[in-house]
Every structure is written in structure tokens, then in C-alpha cells.
Amino acid sequence: MRHVMSALLCSAALAAAVPAAAQGTGTSSSTQKSSSSRKPVPKLPVGFRAFFIADAEFMTASDSFTAVTGAPTMFGLGGGAELLNVWRKLFIRTAYVASSADGERAWVDDDGTVIPVGLTDEIKMSTIELGAGWRSYFKKHPKVAWYYGGGLLFVKYNEQGEFGTVGEEYDERFLGYSVQGGLDFTLWKFVTAAVEGQYRFVDAPATGGASLAFNEDSLGGFAIRGMIGVRFKK
């Protein structure tokens, strides 16, 4: 501890001695000019952005979704909002997206062949997103911003279908997380558009049906998202 204090005192003495030496050699004026010419970094005003969302998620459990709905993709609509410049260029986000797809129950045999059984099935997913990120404008293109971030996902999965003459429903909630990045464009005054790529990690243990047959236990995947909205302040 004594050596640390001695080093700090020596550093402080040297820092005080350098300007004094500069004054003696006639360089104080240039030093003062350079220090006075440095402008303080302006504090960015807190802004707000609200947006409409349309996205397409390419599911990690592609075989399971293809077996039931005929495609490995889920399309969703929703909305969200961001509080900008909470600290420097940090933003916080909340968003909600709902997606659904109609399909048909299927049986998967031992060699992976999918056999439709003629019973209707409907899949619904709703996702609440809470996240944060970093956002900045390009110097040469002040109307274009780039950003990246991540967040928590609260996913509700619901599947309703026929089982013989009796209806059947599976309803469960899962916790996951996401990472994303994108570009935000100013279209006109406060009207904006953005394109974003997002990867979602959502573990969902397979309990039966196609997901168990294909040993797929995820409700995550890669999503391409388009957004249009309004922004107040940058």
C-alpha cells in the first residue's frame, strides 16, 4: 500500500511539474490553446421510437414445423418501442410479436417419413421481448443508424387440434434470449424504417408428436424483421 501511495504522489507531482516546465519554455500558450479548443462531448437528448413489426422466423425445429404446417417458417406481426440515449447511445426496448400457422397432425415412422393423419392442427406463438442495445449514426450518412443488442424472450406456445372426435390443446410458456443487429433509416422527418436480423434461443423440451420423433427441442430460430415507425429525437 505504501508503494502504491508513493507512486500516486510521484505521478501527481509529475503531472503538476509538466505544465510548470512548459510555462518556463514558452510553450504554455500552445498547451492552453489545445486544451481550450477541445469541445466537451455533448450529451445526447433522450429520444423515443415506436414501430410496427413484420417478421419471418426460420425455425430451428424445421422438420417438426414442416411436418405439421408444411413449411419451416413462422410469420409474425407486432409492435414495439425503444427509449433512446438512456446512457450515451444505449437504448432499451420492449416488443411483442404474435405468429400463427394452420396445419395437419402427422405421424412420423421410424425412417422419418411424415404421414398426415387428416386431423386439423393450429399453432400459435406470442413473444414478449425485453432488451437493450447500442445505436449510432454513420458520420457520412447521418440519416442511417446501425445498432446491435440482445434481450430476454418470454414465449407462449399454443397448439390446438383434433384428436379423433375430441379436441386437444397444448399450452406452455418458455424463457429464452435473443441477439440482433440492424440498420435504421430516416425516411422523412420523424418517420423511420429498419431492417433487422435476430437469432432467438428458446429451449422447449419435446413432449410428443413430430418434435419427439425428430428429436427437436427448440422454438427459436433466425428471424428477418422489417420495422416502420416514428422517432422523436435521435
| Residues, the chain | 234
In a domain? residue 104: yes
Domain residue limits at 69 = 47-232
How much is the pLDDT for 71? 94
**Average pLDDT of span 86-99:** 97
Q: What is the pLDDT of residue 91?
A: 97
Torsion-angle region of 68 (φ positive above 0: left; ψ -120 to 50: alpha; else: beta) = alpha
Cα distance between residue 184 and residue 145, in whole Å: 5
Tell me which residue has cell 414495439: 80
Structural domain contains residue 114: yes
**What is residue 116's three-state secondary structure?**
strand
Are 75 and 55 in contact by the 8 Å Cβ rule? The answer is yes
| CATH assignment of the domain containing 101 | 2.40.160.20
User: What is the pLDDT of the chain when averaged over all its residues?
Assistant: 83
Q: Is residue 62 part of a domain?
A: yes
The answer to whether position 6 is within a domain reads no
**In terms of pLDDT, which residue wins out, 21 or 197?**
197
56: left (phi over 0), alpha (psi -120 to 50) or beta: beta
**Best CA proximity match to 67, nearest among 27, 112, 23:** 112
Instruction: With a cut of 50, say whether residue 224 has pLDDT above it.
Output: yes
Position 16 pLDDT exceeds 50 = no
pLDDT at 83 over 90: yes
The Cα 56–Cα 76 span in angstroms is 6
Instruction: List all residues 6 or more positions away from 75 whose beta carbon is below 8 Å from its beta carbon.
Output: 54, 55, 56, 57, 99, 101
**pLDDT, tens digit, for every residue of 150-176?**
999 999 999 887 665 445 788 999 999
For 212, counting Cβ atoms within 10 Å of its Cβ (0-12 exposed, 13-18 middle, 19+ buried), the class is middle
pLDDT at position 41, please? 58
- Is 31 within the bounds of a domain? no
User: Of 117, 229, 132, whose CA–CA distance to 162 is shortest?
Assistant: 117
Residue at 215 is within a domain? yes
Q: Does residue 187 carry a pLDDT above 90?
A: yes
Residue 195 lies in a domain: yes
90 lies in some domain: yes
| Predicted local confidence at residue 97, as pLDDT | 98
Domain count for the chain: 1
